[in-house]
């Protein structure tokens, strides 16, 4: 039964000098789902996200991954266990080539990452796999380009390819479509859907079009606590949710296609 | 790649004939500082760590080499290796402490620890305090090559430089170097890909310290003495200047920077006396304002522009 949930938080609390940013959140992410975390500004989404990825330490409560307590694990450790995160600002290595970006994620498994006496060409055995990953996100023709020169949407695609290289069981995406134009949003949304096969995705996202289109479960946070949870259709008509969102964003919730 | 190969070849050919045209001791001094700056560049240019106390490794290794050769009777090659390893060990200690912080705090911790070592060297008897450790014999390399001959010593120093330069280049272009660049580019992302960045930074720091130490030990052999100047924070500042002037994060930059600064100091010291520091300061300001990428960096950019325009 516990195996149904890949990630579980139990009464998660984070306080910042008297301010309670996250107040007793119980989150259960079902294996194989795309799970979206939404909520108005200041609801604590990013804080929850940073707690899950260990970039912040919780004040109280616990986090469980595949039934194991990972509350006190280090960020690099959980990455090795199969939880890989993305960042709000696109997280590529700007002055490395597109291929090298993906290869960095692959090379850790070779076990030679501390070998300063080995030539770089020993990494070339990874190029085939790296190109496959780039092909998955439609970047194979950009392989030799320096990452900084990619357009924004493509950078996000590169980031996803890099994340996929680690074959994560659970992908945590922090506002994957933030700051994107229409076409890029569609590109990234389809990409998330595509790569979520056989994986679990938990994402913080503002764009209701994306949330409504691809997520199986939605958790709405408000003032650091869970306000509602369920499929999009249930959550969108929940009066508490509508109240929390007040103003313009109500329309956004009601008509996701119109965004 | 080919262009780089030509560059290496030219530099090596130039260095092979240099002692016949220029005073060998000056070129040896340049080589020592060039190796020192290259080691420093491994940290700032390829890992993004500004160590502001790097002279401590140059100085420590200088004293260790001097003492082990003069008092314990080590042959020169063993003295150099022992000194470089000591510097690397000290690098491990200082690095472990400093790497917990980043940016300006990292720089301040390295400076503070280097100053601490400076005062140790000022006080302990074996360094000779203000007088320095004098009269270090150059000895015989492998027991039969007489290093008191400047030319013999020159080619030994050149071999050390080539080895150090090669090792740094290999490190930069290794699987480890790839991770270092990733850390420099985006540390948080490197962590999220599962890398324990502190361990990578520490290894880079130890390598850099060891090579800086090799430079310091070699310098002692060349000048036959080790003094407090090498461990002073001025020297730490000088290596920053050399690297920035030559071109941070470029392979040849630190070499060009070290050659420029050492030559200038050498030429100007007799003519303008202490004004030399003012001139250095002016050069530094000029460099930061006008050619921020340094000599080699600007030349590289110019070359790209020209070939790109075609």
Taking only the tens place, the pLDDT of each residue in B208-239 is 999 999 999 999 999 998 888 888 998 999 99
The pLDDT mean for chain B works out to 89
Q: Is B248 contained in some domain?
A: no
Instruction: Provide the shortest C-alpha distance from residue A1 to chain B (in Å).
Output: 29
Per-residue HEC secondary structure of chain B comes to: CHHHHHHHHHHHHHHHHHHHHCCHHHHHHHHHHHHHHHHHHHHHCCCCCCCCCCHHHHHHHHHHHHHHHHCCCCCHHHHHHHHHHHHHHHHHHHHHHHCCCCCHHHHHHHHHHHHHHHHHHHHCHHHCHHHCECCCCCCEECCCEECCCHHHHHHHHHHHHHHHHHHHHHHHCCHHHHHHHHHHHCHHHHHHCCCCHHHHHHHHHHHHHHHHHHHHHHHHHHHCCECHHHHCHHHHHHHHHHHHHHCCCCCCHHHHHHHHHHHHHHHHHHHHCCHHHHHHHHHHHHHHHHCCCHHHHHHHHHHHHHHHHC
Residue in B closest to A119 by C-alpha: B174
Record the tokens describing residue A63, joined without a space. 């986090």
Cβ-based contacts of B186 with chain A (< 8 Å)? 91-94
Q: How far apart are CA A149 and CA A133, in angstroms?
A: 19
Q: Nearest Cα to A235, choosing from A18, A67, A39, A15? A: A39
Q: Is B172 contained in some domain?
A: yes
CB atoms B178 and A110 under 8 Å: no
Cβ–Cβ contact A85 with B under 8 A: yes
Cβ-based contacts of A123 with chain B (< 8 Å)? 175, 178
Helix (H) or strand (E) holding A192: helix A182-195
Q: Which domain holds residue B103?
A: 23-231
CA–CA distances in Å: residue B112 to residues A23, A77, B58, B108, B236: 42, 32, 16, 6, 12
Domain spans, chain A:
2-92+169-258, 93-149
Q: Is B52 contained in some domain?
A: yes
Q: Is B112 contained in some domain?
A: yes
Facing B175 at nearest CB: one of A74, A85, A122: A122
ipTM of the complex: 0.81
pLDDT at residue number A3: 59
Q: How far apart are CA B183 and CA B87, in angstroms?
A: 24
Region A164-181 average pLDDT: 85
pLDDT at B310 over 60: no
CB atoms A112 and B175 under 8 Å: yes
Cβ–Cβ contact A144 with B under 8 A: no
pLDDT at residue number A254: 54
The pLDDT mean for chain A works out to 85
Q: Is B156 contained in some domain?
A: yes
Q: Is B65 contained in some domain?
A: yes
pLDDT digits 0-9 by tens, A103-116: 999 998 888 889 88
Q: Which CATH architecture has domain A2-92+169-258?
A: 3-Layer(aba) Sandwich (3.40)
Cβ–Cβ contact A186 with B under 8 A: no
CB atoms B182 and A96 under 8 Å: yes
Q: Is B12 contained in some domain?
A: no
Q: Nearest Cα to B121, choosing from B226, B261, B252? A: B226
Residue from B48, B163, B194, B249 to probe the interface with A (highest A Cβ count within 10 Å) = B194
Residue whose tokens read 């579980």: A8
């Amino acid at each position: 039964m516990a195996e149904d949930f890949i990630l579980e938080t139990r009464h998660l609390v984070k306080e910042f000098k008297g301010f309670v940013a996250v107040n007793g959140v119980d989150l259960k992410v079902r294996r194989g789902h795309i799970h979206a975390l939404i909520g108005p500004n200041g609801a604590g989404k990013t804080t929850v996200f940073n707690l899950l990825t260990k970039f912040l330490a919780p004040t109280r409560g616990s986090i469980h991954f595949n039934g194991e307590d990972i509350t006190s694990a280090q960020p690099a450790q959980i990455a090795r266990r199969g939880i890989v995160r993305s960042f709000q600002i696109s997280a590529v290595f700007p002055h490395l080539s597109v291929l090298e970006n993906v290869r960095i994620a692959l090379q850790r498994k070779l076990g030679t990452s501390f070998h300063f006496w080995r030539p770089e060409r020993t990494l070339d055995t990874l190029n085939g796999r790296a190109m496959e990953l780039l092909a998955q996100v439609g970047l194979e023709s950009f392989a030799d380009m320096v990452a900084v020169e990619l357009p924004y949407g493509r950078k996000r695609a590169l980031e996803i390819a890099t994340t996929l290289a680690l074959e994560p069981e659970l992908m945590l995406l922090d506002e994957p479509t933030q700051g994107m134009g229409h076409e890029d949003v569609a590109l990234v949304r389809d990409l998330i859907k595509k790569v979520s096969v056989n994986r679990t995705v938990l994402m913080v996202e503002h764009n209701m079009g994306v949330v409504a289109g691809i997520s199986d479960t939605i958790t709405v946070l408000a003032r650091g606590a869970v306000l509602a949870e369920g499929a999009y259709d249930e959550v969108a008509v929940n009066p508490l949710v509508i109240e929390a969102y007040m103003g313009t964003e109500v329309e956004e919730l009601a008509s996701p296609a119109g965004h | 790649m080919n262009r780089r190969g030509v560059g290496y070849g030219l530099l090596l050919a130039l260095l092979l004939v240099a002692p016949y045209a220029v005073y060998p001791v000056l070129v040896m001094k340049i080589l020592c500082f060039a190796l020192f700056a290259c080691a420093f560049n491994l940290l700032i240019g390829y890992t993004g760590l500004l160590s502001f106390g790097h002279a401590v490794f140059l100085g420590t290794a200088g004293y260790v080499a001097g003492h082990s050769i003069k008092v314990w009777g080590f042959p020169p090659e063993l003295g150099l290796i022992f000194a470089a390893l000591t510097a690397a060990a000290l690098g491990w200690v200082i690095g472990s402490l400093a790497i917990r912080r980043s940016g300006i705090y990292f720089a301040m911790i390295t400076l503070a620890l280097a100053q601490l070592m400076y005062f140790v060297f000022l006080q302990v008897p074996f360094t000779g305090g203000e007088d320095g450790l004098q009269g270090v014999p150059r000895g015989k390399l492998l027991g039969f090559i007489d290093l008191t001959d400047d030319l013999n010593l020159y080619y030994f120093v050149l071999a050390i430089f080539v080895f150090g330069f090669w090792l740094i280049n290999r490190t930069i272009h290794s699987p480890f170097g790839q991770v270092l660049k990733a850390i420099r580019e985006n540390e948080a992302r490197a962590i999220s890909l599962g890398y324990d960045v502190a361990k990578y930074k520490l290894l880079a720091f130890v390598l850099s310290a060891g090579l800086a130490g090799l430079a310091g030990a070699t310098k002692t052999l060349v000048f036959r003495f080790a003094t407090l100047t090498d461990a002073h924070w001025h020297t730490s500042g000088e290596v920053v200047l050399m690297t920035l002037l030559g071109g941070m994060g470029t392979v040849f930059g630190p070499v060009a920077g070290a050659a420029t600064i050492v030559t200038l100091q050498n030429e100007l010291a007799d003519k303008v006396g202490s004004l030399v520091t003012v001139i250095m300061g002016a050069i530094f300001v000029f460099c930061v304002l006008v050619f921020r990428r340094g000599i080699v960096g600007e030349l590289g950019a110019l070359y790209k522009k020209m070939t790109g325009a075609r």
